[in-house]
């Protein structure tokens, strides 16, 4: 590593940390609520892939810091309950949307954004992209992005306003990972999850998730807002985070040039 690269890394790191520290979440009007502790800017050029369930690296979170992410929405009956629970605790999350659902429920997509949540992308119809031909897989990704953008902004574009993508089933290929990186789109895995695709009571799901969080101590958490058991469990989980001194970190795209420089 040359001296110039080291200096560049140091300068970019200082800029990133300064921006993250300055971008604090708005104060919560409800005393005693969990709240959102800070906003973390994610630069796809610096962190093209995150989440220890899939990749060697994750986000730079401190002890007892968590990021809440939800997949597969929007789904009116349950997503509305999830949004209400988050609003009650002044917590912001990232939603990775299925384009087909976003097309069916655009008002709910706009509500997510209006309430301060980040909108990521999760394909159009949730196929396993690993088993599609590369061109078909990328077309499925683009169709989902375009549907999400149309629901959110009224314009169907394959250039996402928020360049965050999560693979259905966490199944990717080296080719697709490289293509998304070349397009400046960060790929999100997760550090732990609630396994809420398996039927269980809200109480059993809460115990499973809190036990896993105790072991991990921090991380990107995966949940699914279309799941009724998740919507029912979420208020208790947010209270658990508050009572056990966890801090919620909200994700947003980093300003251009604010992220840590990636060494070629």
Q: How far is CA 72 from CA 20, 181, 197, 224, in A?
A: 28, 22, 11, 6
29's tokens: 């009007």
Task: Tell me, yes or no, if 43 is annotated catalytic.
Answer: no
Which of 121, 122, 224, 250 does the annotation list as catalytic?
Answer: 224
Which of 71, 72, 191, 225 does the annotation list as catalytic?
Answer: 71
CB 66 within 8 A of CB 241: yes
Task: Tell me, yes or no, if 27 is annotated catalytic.
Answer: no
Please list the helix, strand and coil fractions of the chain in percent, rounded to the nearest 5, in that order: 45, 15, 40
Is residue 74 reached through a cis peptide bond, with omega within 30 degrees of 0 on the bond before it? yes
Q: Please state, as a whole number, how many other Cβ atoms lie within 10 Å of the Cβ of residue 2.
A: 8
92 three-state secondary structure: coil
d(CA 107, CA 76): 10
Instruction: Enumerate the active-site residues.
Output: 71, 224
């Amino acid at each position: 590593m040359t001296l110039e690269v080291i200096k560049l890394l140091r300068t970019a790191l200082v800029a990133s940390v300064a921006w993250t520290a300055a971008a604090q979440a708005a104060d919560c009007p409800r005393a005693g609520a969990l709240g959102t502790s800070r906003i973390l800017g994610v630069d796809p050029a610096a962190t093209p892939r995150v989440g220890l369930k899939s990749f060697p690296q994750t986000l730079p979170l401190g002890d007892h810091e968590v990021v809440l992410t939800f997949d597969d929405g929007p789904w009116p009956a349950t997503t509305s309950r999830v949004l209400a629970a988050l609003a009650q605790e002044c917590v912001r999350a990232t939603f990775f949307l299925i384009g087909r659902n976003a097309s069916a429920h655009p008002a709910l997509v706009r509500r997510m954004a209006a309430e301060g949540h980040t909108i990521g992308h999760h394909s159009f119809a949730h196929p396993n992209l690993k088993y599609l031909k590369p061109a078909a897989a990328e077309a499925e990704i683009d169709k989902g992005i375009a549907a999400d953008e149309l629901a959110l902004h009224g314009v169907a574009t394959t250039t996402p306003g928020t360049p965050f993508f999560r693979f259905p089933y966490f199944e990717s290929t080296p080719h697709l990972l490289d293509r998304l990186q070349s397009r400046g789109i960060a790929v999100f895995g997760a550090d732990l999850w609630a396994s809420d695709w398996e039927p269980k009571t809200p109480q059993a799901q809460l115990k499973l998730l809190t036990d896993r969080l105790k072991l991990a101590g921090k991380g990107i958490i995966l949940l699914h807002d279309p799941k009724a058991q998740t919507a029912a469990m979420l208020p208790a989980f947010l209270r658990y985070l508050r009572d056990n001194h966890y801090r919620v970190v909200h994700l947003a795209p980093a300003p251009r040039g604010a992220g840590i420089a990636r060494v070629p």
